[in-house]
Chain A
Amino acid sequence: AQKITQTQPGMFVQEKEAVTLDCTYDTSDQSYGLFWYKQPSSGEMIFLIYQGSYDEQNATEGRYSLNFQKARKSANLVISASQLGDSAMYFCAMREGQRGAQKLVFGQGTRLTINP
Chain B
Amino acid sequence: DAMVIQNPRYQVTQFGKPVTLSCSQTLNHNVMYWYQQKSSQAPKLLFHYYDKDFNNEADTPDNFQSRRPNTSFCFLDIRSPGLGDAAMYLCATSRDDVGSGGYTFGSGTRLTVV
Name A residues whose Cβ lies closer than 8 Å to a Cβ of B.
33, 35, 37, 42-45, 47, 50, 52, 91, 95, 98-109
Contact = CB atoms under 8 A, between A and B. Distances in A.
Contacts of A100: 50, 96
A87 to B, nearest CB: 15
A91 B50 CA distance: 24
A102 B98 CA distance: 7
A95 B45 CA distance: 12
B21 interface: no
Nearest to A95: B98
Contact of B100 (A33, A44, A45): A33
Given A100-B50, A106-B42, 7 more contacts: A33-B100, A35-B102, A43-B107, A45-B90, A50-B100, A91-B43, A106-B44
B98 A33 contact: yes
Nearest to A51: B100
Query: Residue among B48, B55, B88, B100 with the most chain A CB within 10 A?
Result: B100
A91 B99 CA distance: 19
Interface of B: 31, 33, 40-45, 48-50, 55, 88, 90, 92, 94, 96-100, 102-103, 105-108, 110
A99 B43 contact: no
Contacts of B102: 35, 47, 50
A98 B97 contact: yes
A107 B48 contact: no
SS of A interface (majority) = loop
Contacts of A47: 102-103, 105
Given A43-B107, A107-B42, A108-B41, A101 B88 contact: no
9 contacts: A44-B105, A95-B103, A101-B31, A101-B48, A101-B49, A101-B50, A102-B96, A104-B92, A108-B41
A43 B90 CA distance: 9
B107 A103 contact: no
A45 B105 contact: yes
A43 B39 CA distance: 10
Contact of A108 (B42, B45, B92, B105): B42
A108 B43 CA distance: 8
